[in-house]
Amino acid sequence: MATAIIIIAGVGLVAAFTLALADRFLSVKEDPRIGMVTAALPGANCGGCGFPGCDGYARALVAGTAPNGACAAGGDACARAVAKILGVEATATERRVALVKCCGTRSEAIRVGDYNGICDCNVAAATAGGDKGCTYGCLGYGACANVCPKGAISVRDGLAKVDKRLCIGCGKCVTACPKRLIELVPASATIHVLCNNPDKGPNVRKVCGVGCMGCHLCEKNSGGKEAGHFTFQGFLAKVNYQNPPDDAQIVAKCPAKCMAEDPHFETGH
């Protein structure tokens, strides 16, 4: 019995000693801050910062080649934590979420054909421009939902919808959309124009029942041009997110019904 204990203990000691020596003399130096920063990041590996995963961003942060605050998922808290580790000032970031700027559901937007192919917006868009009459509108084949690392986008009634609570603002959907109709907007903004068609009113009406006609009523109702809540591109109203409107009345007064108050969709996760 005693021999057994002695031998096991001896083997253990020798092993421990060897490992300790190895750690002391053979170890390879690595900046300890990399591990600390990685721990401070959310660990979603969404790639929204442009680096391969959180570890990659952490290495770049420590190396000083990346700006702090690029992590939309972690938000302010994360940026502050990272700044504390790195000893630099944090730049404030407002949480941003994706917004699909189209409200042409199956019952409102005109379909010009029967699409028969793979469920992917990019391919559908390359097939005669897609089956939607409006060439600017959401095709509803979920290219954005496919790339969303958080599963925050789902397609309902032929339209992609974003779950605001799940969205981390990584912006992958923005580049995935062949129609470029997804925009990152401040999470605090509540009033949005859900149309992306800059054509003249009659042309928009031809293809969609809820398209923006550029009537400027929203601008008038929100205090006129001076108030600066809206900008216009062609015949399309755009919310100025630097100075977003907050009067819900203008949504109700929109004759085209292309505006909405907080259209973000909640999947009930």
Cα separation of 29 and 33, whole Å?
A: 12
> Following CA atoms 231, 233, 234, 235 in sequence, which dihedral angle do they give, to the nearest 10 degrees?
-60
210 or 250: whose CB is closer to other proteins?
210
* Residue 242 binds other proteins (CB under 8 A): no
**Residue 73 interacts with other proteins (CB under 8 A)?**
no
Neighbours of 159 (CB within 10 A): 22
User: First vs last Cα of the chain: how many Å apart?
Assistant: 58
Instruction: Write down the least CB distance from residue 246 to other proteins, Å.
Output: 32
Identify the residue among 47, 81, 94, 146 touching other proteins (CB under 8 A).
146
User: By CB under 8 A, is residue 32 in contact with other proteins?
Assistant: no
For 43, half-sphere exposure in the C-beta direction (CA atoms, 13 angstrom radius) is 5
Cα distances from 203 to residues 32, 197, 206, in angstroms, run 61, 10, 5
**Exactly one of 81, 83, 123, 217 binds other proteins (CB under 8 A); which one?**
123
Smallest distance, other proteins to C-beta of residue 222, A: 30
Instruction: Please state the closest distance from residue 150 (CB atom) to other proteins, in A.
Output: 15
Minimum distance from residue 33 beta carbon to other proteins (Å): 19
- Residue listed under structure tokens 């089956």: 131
Give residue 199's identity as a one-letter amino acid code: D
- Cβ distance to other proteins smaller for residue 50 or 224: 50
Angstrom distance (rounded) from CA 133 to CA 229? 30
Q: Is residue 26 within the footprint of other proteins (CB under 8 A)?
A: yes
Q: Closest Cα to residue 108, out of 204, 249, 178?
A: 204
Residue 223: count of CB within 10 angstroms of its CB: 14
Task: Give the angle subtended at the CA of 31 by the CAs of 26 and 33, to the nearest 5°.
Answer: 140
Residue with tokens 């509803």: 140
The verdict on 111 binding other proteins (CB under 8 A) reads: yes
Question: Smaller CB distance to other proteins: residue 3 or 242?
Answer: 3
Which pair of tokens denotes residue 201? 């009113």
Rounded Cα–Cα distance for residues 141 and 134 (Å): 15
Scanning 23-31, 93-101, 216-224, 259-267 for contacts with other proteins by CB under 8 A, the matching segment is 23-31
| Residue of the chain from 12, 43, 52, 151 that contacts other proteins (CB under 8 A) | 12
> What is the residue type of 206?
K
Q: Smallest gap, in angstroms, from Cβ of residue 92 to other proteins?
A: 21
- Which listed residue (45, 93, 135, 240) binds other proteins by CB under 8 A? 135
Q: Between 189 and 212, whose beta carbon lies closer to other proteins? A: 212
Binding residues for other proteins, rule: CB under 8 A, are 3-4, 7-8, 11-12, 15-16, 18-19, 22-23, 26-28, 65, 106-120, 122-123, 125-131, 133, 135, 146, 175, 209
